[in-house]
Amino acid sequence: MAFETIIVEIEDHVALIKLNRPDALNALNQQLIGEVMTALTEADANDKVRCIVLTGSEKAFAAGADIKEMSEMSFADVNLSDLFGNLGDGIQRIRKPIIAAVSGYALGGGCEVAMACDFIIASDTAKFGQPEINLGVIAGIGGSQRLTRAVGKAKSMDMNLTGRFMDAEEAERAGLVSRVVPAKKLMEESMAAAQKIAEKSLIAARTAKEAVNRSFETTLTEGLLFERRSFHALFATEDQKEGMAAFIEKREPQFRDK
Ligand code: HXC
């Protein structure tokens, strides 16, 4: 499918999805949301893809939902269309690992989309924020929930109530991002991380993602049981035999997703 607001490239088993509305700092309009969901769904179903990287431009990952598109909407418009609901839920349904490579602004819906990915690699220019309060609304796809789980109540309240931005260094300290890299190295480092994941057994990688995500949804006892059963289940795979044999034979494993 031909996209107009994103660019998709598949290289060495990694699908790179780049948000591409430079004139609007990658603001998330309905077309872009539809295209991102199509690209993610296609990547999830494509046997050649083993990991996904979602990124924006140097200046902005995404400056939020498109305010110009939203400004005249009524309660009925946003309620009946479940505005943006499909995006947050949709990203969460993707089973392959997704890395958000964030440079510049990741605000409002932009921050929320990044947080819906599995982890965030940030450039040292990244700025995260939930400034919806300045527009008379609040976060709508996870800014009050995923952010709180990531950075705790104090910082989440601060960001959601004052609308202030968090820079990359603070975001790393607070646990919102997994690493911070120089802006020039963002794509190199993010693609290298994706390549590393792409080398693993896809069955194991997807199971690891499911297990970590489960920790947000359940009690510790239930989560530990889920993890243990998942661990046991992986002994039914050829990839487990291959991974352990390769270690013993001091060679690189050749995973076949079986
Ligand atoms: C529509 C946007 C936009 C947005 C920027 N633009 N953000 N258009 N929606 N969210 C447009 C500007 O109108 C402008 O176009 C162009 O992008 C460049 O932006 P500038 O403001 O001129 O750039 P700069 O001065 O560098 O400031 C950058 C910025 C600022 C700090 C990121 O643009 C900003 O505050 N943007 C809004 C951030 C925000 O409030 N996000 C939350 C949105 S609500 P023109 O053509 O005018 O020059 C949200 C809700 C999510 O995300 C929940 C959904 C359920």
Residue with CA nearest ligand 1 atom 9: 66
133 Cβ below 6 A of ligand 1: no
| Tens-place pLDDT, residues 170-225 | 999 999 999 999 999 999 999 999 999 999 999 999 999 999 999 999 999 999 99
Choose which CATH entry (3.40.50.10860, 1.25.10.10, 1.10.10.350, 1.10.12.10) describes domain 201-249.
Answer: 1.10.12.10
DSSP-based three-state secondary structure for 100:
strand
- CATH 1.10.12.10 location in the chain: 201-249
Interatomic CA distance for residues 52 and 40, integer angstroms: 8
| Tens-place pLDDT, residues 15-62 | 999 999 999 999 999 999 999 999 999 999 999 999 999 999 999 999
105 Cβ below 6 A of ligand 1: yes
Q: How sure is the predictor about 82, in pLDDT bands with cuts at 50, 70 and 90?
A: confident
**Closest atom, ligand 1, to C-alpha of 68:** 1
Closest CA to 71 of 10, 29, 20, 22: 29
Architecture of domain 6-198: Alpha-Beta Complex (3.90)
**Closest atom, ligand 1, to C-alpha of 78:** 55
Among residues of the chain, what percentage have pLDDT more than 70? 100
Interatomic CA distance for residues 106 and 99, integer angstroms: 14
ipTM score of the complex?
0.98
Interatomic CA distance for residues 62 and 83, integer angstroms: 17
The model's pTM: 0.97
66 Cβ below 6 A of ligand 1: yes
Cα(23) to ligand 1 centroid in Å equals 10
User: Quick one: tokens of 166?
Assistant: 């968090």
C-beta neighbour count of 72 within 10 angstroms: 7
Residue with CA nearest ligand 1 atom 47: 24
The amino acid at residue 183 is A
Q: How sure is the predictor about 81, in pLDDT bands with cuts at 50, 70 and 90?
A: confident
Q: Percentage helix, strand, coil, to 5, in the chain? A: 50, 15, 35
pLDDT above 90 (res 226): yes
Cα(115) to ligand 1 centroid in Å equals 19
Q: How sure is the predictor about 157, in pLDDT bands with cuts at 50, 70 and 90?
A: very high
Q: Best mutation site among 5, 19, 25 for ligand 1, i.e. most ligand atoms within 8 A of its Cβ?
A: 25
pLDDT of residue 64: 97
Q: What is the mean pLDDT of residues 148-175?
A: 98
pLDDT above 80 (res 1): no
Interatomic CA distance for residues 11 and 255, integer angstroms: 19
pLDDT of residue 89: 87
Residue with CA nearest ligand 1 atom 16: 24
- CATH 3.90.226.10 location in the chain: 6-198
Residue with CA nearest ligand 1 atom 8: 24
CB 114 within 8 A of CB 166: no
pLDDT above 90 (res 253): yes
Interatomic CA distance for residues 38 and 98, integer angstroms: 15
As a three-state string, the secondary structure of 161-215 is: HHCCCEEHHHHHHHCCCCEEECHHHHHHHHHHHHHHHHCCCHHHHHHHHHHHHHC
Q: Best mutation site among 30, 61, 67, 130 for ligand 1, i.e. most ligand atoms within 8 A of its Cβ?
A: 67
DSSP-based three-state secondary structure for 23:
helix
Cα(73) to ligand 1 centroid in Å equals 17
pLDDT of residue 85: 82
User: Mean pLDDT in the chain?
Assistant: 97
Interatomic CA distance for residues 6 and 25, integer angstroms: 12
Kindly report the length of the chain. 258
Among residues of the chain, what percentage have pLDDT more than 90? 95
Interatomic CA distance for residues 182 and 114, integer angstroms: 18
- What are residue 233's phi and psi, to 5 degrees? -60, -30
CB 169 within 8 A of CB 140: no
Q: With the CA atoms of 50, 142, 123 and 133 taken in that order, what torsion angle do they form, in degrees rounded to the nearest 10?
A: 160
Catalytic residues: 65, 109, 112, 132
Cα(25) to ligand 1 centroid in Å equals 7
